Amino acid sequence: MARIDTILQTTPIRNVWPKWNRLHWQTAPVAIFLFSLFVIPVIMLLGMSFLGDTALPSLTHYQRLIEVPLYGKVLVTTLKVAFYTTLLCVIGAYPVAYLLATSRRSTRNWLIILVLMPFWTSFLVRTFAWIVLLGRKGAVNQMLLAIGIIDVPLQLIYNFAGVMIGMTHALMPLATLTLLAVMENIDPNLSRAGATMGAKTGTRFWRIYFPLTMPGVASAALLVFITSLGFFITPALLGGPQDTMIVQLIIFQIREALNWQFAGAIGVLLVMTFMVIFYIYDQVFGLSLAGGGGTAENANKSSFIRKVAVSVGNVVIRALARLTDAMISMLCLIKPATHRAKTSSRGGLHVVCTLILAFLALPTLFVVPVSFTSEAFLTWPPRLFSLQWYDLVFDSPIWLAAAARSLVVATTTAALAMVIAMPCAFALARDQFAGKQALFGLVVAPMIVPNIFIAVGLFFLFSRIGITGTTFAVVLGHTVIVIPYVIVTILAVIKGYDRNLDYAAATMGASCTVTLRRVTFPLIRSGLIASFMFAFIISFDELTISLFVTGGRLTTLPKLMYEDALLSVSPRLAAVASLLLVLMSILIVISELTRRKGGYRAFDQ
Amino acid sequence: MNERKNKLAIRGLSKRYGAAVALDHVNLDMIDGEFLTMLGPSGSGKTTLLWSVAGLNNPDEGKIWIDGQEATHRPACGRDIGMVFQNYALFPHMTVAQNISFPLEMRKVPAMDRKTAIRQALAMVKLEHVAERYCNQLSGGQQQRIALARAFVANPSIVLMDEPLGALDKKLRDHLQFEIKRLHAELGMTVLYVTHDQEEAMVMSDRICLMNRGQIEQIGTPQELYFQPKTLFAADFLGESNLIAGTIVGEENDCLTLELPGIGTVRVRSGNTPVSGSDIVHFTRPESLSVLLDADLRDNRVRGQVKEVFVSGAITKLFVDVGGASALRVSQLTDYSRCVRKGDIVTIGWADNVGNVFSGKQREAA
Ligand SMILES: Nc1ncnc2c1ncn2[C@@H]1O[C@H](COP(=O)(O)OP(=O)(O)OP(=O)(O)O)[C@@H](O)[C@H]1O
Ligand SMILES: [Mg+2]
């Protein structure tokens, strides 16, 4: 005993100096960048709302927010739009994601391109395509008139339906990808195991498959809902006056009324809405689900609301299972099932998915014929063939300058974001360090906070330092927006990388740098290229930041298109849109091919 | 033994995955209550056959009858089966108890009876204490045992098991082999079993079905398969064997005279294996060979030098160089008073009725 005591006393207790040693300095650039160009501006903007007209603290703006009924009404509209968009997106995305998750890998890769079509094509091109398709003189109305189903053109856009169509189209890819990520990890043998235990098709789906996809449904819904709250382009271009959304109010306050403080107050209202939604979500599903965390641990320490939700959910699911089974057996009675029951049920899925995929991929293509019209207005069918609108674009120094600037900005942004984000992504993927959770939160925050906050905040900050209206300012702004996407995609690449390969290389005598150069990098290279492309495309298509930070002097391509579209929807826009479509398609095909060719993915059939 | 009815009949069953043929016109019959084990190299189609019986893959050709009724395309949920999947397929969103309860619920067993059944099933696999855990909180072996409990709990009339004991240690495996046999005997279900463990197959099965490249190579009792392999592949796959290529030099009645390089002339009373051509492969089991004392008489003898001696407890294995391409394997009970050492010159002998002869062409096929 005595010996042990003396040993304990004489051995110096190693002082493990916590925190600082374990901080990872390679994460500093991203942290500093986002702190100064994201956190501070947004807080400044929101803080301003507590100042009165005389720059003294006051709550006058909030008073106005409550007293004028318009603002409450707009908030309700916004929530309504977000709710229905979420509903439509999740319902539409579910079968598509299911089809993707259960089809062969090669098929899946091509289908994903279709799903991502709206994601890649510029916001404005897309919205514009809907105008071409659904306008009073658009393709759909002309066709219905020609067939004789209707006498007067239908009002398909510039109303709530238009907003729904545009937003669902824009956000369904997001929902599909989120669901797909979850569905891909569901072992297909589970359903089969259910079958061997006597569960019929409906029971198998509702009691085995569906509960397993629940985390995906929940996070898809959250993502879509949050994102749609921040929308303004689609409602502005496809909606009517009664479909004004809250962000449009902010823009109006800043650009027209020049009332910054009140804009800040509306911003605070939006932030509070967010918090309420996150709170409800956390109570029902648990926030960790959004990160794909373990479900088992949550179940034990669950809230009351969650317990209620779960038991209600179980009852509903059981009922649905019975109902579906009953319906299927009734169908079988009417039409005796042929031998291959499996193929026929798949047939229904194929029909539904074809329709949804057509909805996602086809509309954009309608801008192409319109751009070749020889008339002075948008008409359907377009009178062909003329290159006048292309000539107009290529002869215009304004359009060319805007395009050139957009290219420069997108390239610089993507490069800058990669350089500062990559080390951070490695640290996040592989190491444990103090403040990792907080850092991750900071890094993905710009994805969740509506771009309008960042845009206005940066405008405010940049005008103080006097760099508004420079290309540099636009690059900085875009980098803030792009960093989360870069980090999330690189994280996915690194996480999918089997670290045992590094260890194996080390056992064969490779040093750290050699391992990185000969083993790690070749394997993740295609992922990094895809990530760069992603950043490029997002920046190239970005409108909100550009709208503010350019300060009216400079212009980028999306900004020019937006302002043009607000004035009039002309075939010239169709020409620009078609050009963009071609450019983006080339980029996608290139990145898809590099991803397939270079990656180890090719082997993991 | 009184006549038992046919539980399962498979005729001409084929399944292709693209160009790969996973099952190639398989015929198989099982009587009610039989324990049949499928054995075969990896990729030989065992899982595919099991899945066809379960109704999980649509066979391209052929028919399956269960209890005399055609069931080729009957959905899995209508077959009254229980199955252990190769990767367990436990439901991750349910607790262990909920997993085991699922097949009972599907059969509309009342809640009270379910409770007892679950408890018994868990007791069988010695996992009563994990009932309320989620399946991802269990070790690989524990998961496997839950999968086993889930397959048996509802007393299905056919149980299909795809390597159900692969992840377990020896002791647990012995226990569960015993439990499975006991349940099989008590409940009389028909069991179709897949394993890589030959000893397990020998111990547990009424019959063994040896698969190779999507076809049934041989089917029979464990003894038949072991001592009377019908093909070179069967001889080679099961247990250890001495396979020596040579030629036929003489034939009288049922006795063949062979010329084997290095060994010389050997006589075999060939079994029922028809041999065409004169190129053959001669087969013996190591335990059929023995080290002779000078006085011993055997039909076949050959002298050689001992190259390796392995004593694994009760059995001693010798590798004897007789001048051929590969050494002869001899295994016999360890005899401490007469131990053979490395380098000794010994005489190996065997009777002419323990060997067998396969057509040499089979070698390429195998
Ligand atoms: N889903 C599939 N797609 C393509 N080929 C498959 C599929 N499932 C099985 N195969 C092929 O069919 C053949 C038989 O496979 P099966 O799984 O039945 O083998 P097995 O005997 O169970 O092997 P193991 O002992 O390794 O489990 C193999 O060649 C395999 O590659
Ligand atoms: Mg198998």
> Angle, to 10 degrees, between the axis of helix A246-255 and the axis of helix A260-284?
160
Mean pLDDT within A487-496: 84
Which ligand lies nearest to the CA atom of residue B43 in the structure? 1
Neighbouring C-beta atoms of residue A338, cutoff 10 Å: 9
d(CA A221, CA A228): 10
* In-domain check, residue A410: yes
**A331 at the B interface (CB within 8 A)?**
no
Which residue of chain A comes nearest to B71, CA vs CA?
Answer: A339
What are residue A23's phi and psi, to 5 degrees? Answer: -70, 150
Which long-range CB contacts under 8 A does B333-337 form with residues at least 24 apart? Answer: none
DSSP string, B82-114: EEEBTTB---TTSBHHHHHHHHHHHTT--HHHH
H/E stretch holding B118 reads helix B111-124
* In-domain check, residue A65: no
Contacts of A264 (CB under 8 A, 6+ apart): A45, A46, A47, A48, A49, A61
Domain B6-232, CATH: 3.40.50.300
* In-domain check, residue A44: yes
Q: How far is the CA of B212 from the centre of ligand 1 (A)?
A: 12
Distance from the B42 Cα atom to the nearest Cα atom in chain A, whole angstroms: 18
B85 → closest Cβ in A189, A199, A212: A189
A208 → closest Cβ in B80, B83, B91: B91
Mean pLDDT within A114-118: 78
Which residue of chain B comes nearest to A210, CA vs CA?
Answer: B93
Inter-chain CB proximity A295 and B93 less than 8 Å: yes
d(CA B162, CA B87): 9
* In-domain check, residue A231: no
CATH class of segment(s) B240-365: mainly beta
pLDDT band, residue B14 (cuts 50/70/90) = very high
Chain B residues closer than 8 Å to A329 by CB:
none
Mean pLDDT within B111-119: 93
H/E stretch holding A165 reads helix A160-184
Mutate to test the pocket of ligand 1, among B46, B87, B212 (most ligand atoms within 8 A of CB): B46
Supply the pTM of this predicted model. Answer: 0.78
* In-domain check, residue A501: yes
Contacts of A311 (CB under 8 A, 6+ apart): none
d(CA A39, CA B359): 81
d(CA A444, CA A484): 5
Q: What CATH number is given to the structural domain containing A409?
A: 1.10.3720.10
Atom 25 of ligand 1: nearest residue by CA position: B42
pLDDT band, residue A193 (cuts 50/70/90) = very high
Least confident of A175-189, B45-59, B193-207, B267-281: B267-281
Q: Judge contact between B24 and B214, C-beta under 8 A.
A: yes
Q: How far is C-alpha A20 from the chain's CA centre? A: 35
Mean pLDDT within A308-320: 84
Domain of A458 in residue numbering reads as 28-52+396-568
Q: Which two tokens stand for residue A505?
A: 């290389």
Pocket of ligand 1 (CB under 6 A): B 17, 20, 22, 40, 42-48, 86
d(CA B250, CA B270): 12
What are residue B208's phi and psi, to 5 degrees? Answer: -120, 140
pLDDT in tens, A246-270: 888 888 888 888 888 888 888 888 8
Neighbouring C-beta atoms of residue B61, cutoff 10 Å: 14
Domain ranges of chain B: 6-232, 240-365
Residue A6 confidence (pLDDT): 40
Atom 17 of ligand 1: nearest residue by CA position: B47
Cα diameter, chain B = 74
pLDDT band, residue A385 (cuts 50/70/90) = confident
* In-domain check, residue A340: no
pLDDT in tens, B290-327: 888 877 777 888 888 999 899 888 888 999 988 777 78
Q: How far is the CA of B226 from the centre of ligand 1 (A)?
A: 26
* In-domain check, residue A274: no
Total domains in the fold of chain A = 1
DSSP string, A306-355: HHHHHHHHHHHHHHHHHHHHHHHHHHHHHS---S-HHHHHHHHHHHHHHH
Chain B residues closer than 8 Å to A340 by CB:
58, 73
Q: Would the pLDDT of A573 be above 90?
A: no
Q: Would the pLDDT of A416 be above 70?
A: yes
A 179-218 residues inside an 8 A Cβ radius of B:
187, 189-190, 192-201, 203-204, 208, 211-212
pLDDT in tens, A143-158: 888 888 888 888 888 8
Atom 22 of ligand 1: nearest residue by CA position: B47
Q: Determine whether A3 is exposed, middle or buried from the number of CB atoms within 10 Å of its CB (0-12, 13-18, 19+).
A: exposed
* In-domain check, residue A431: yes
Q: How far is CA B239 from CA A31, A61, B23, B234, in A?
A: 64, 88, 25, 9
Residue A336 confidence (pLDDT): 58
Q: How far is the CA of B180 from the centre of ligand 2 (A)?
A: 20
Q: What angle do CA A473, A474, A475 make, to 5 degrees?
A: 90
Contacts of A601 (CB under 8 A, 6+ apart): A526, A595
Q: Determine whether B123 is exposed, middle or buried from the number of CB atoms within 10 Å of its CB (0-12, 13-18, 19+).
A: exposed
Q: How far is CA A366 from CA A370, A394, B132, B326, in A?
A: 7, 21, 57, 75
Q: Judge contact between B238 and B39, C-beta under 8 A.
A: yes
Which residue of chain A comes nearest to B151, CA vs CA?
Answer: A197
Positive or negative: CA dihedral A202, A206, A210, A212: negative
B76 → closest Cβ in A196, A212, A295: A196
Q: Judge contact between A38 and A254, C-beta under 8 A.
A: no
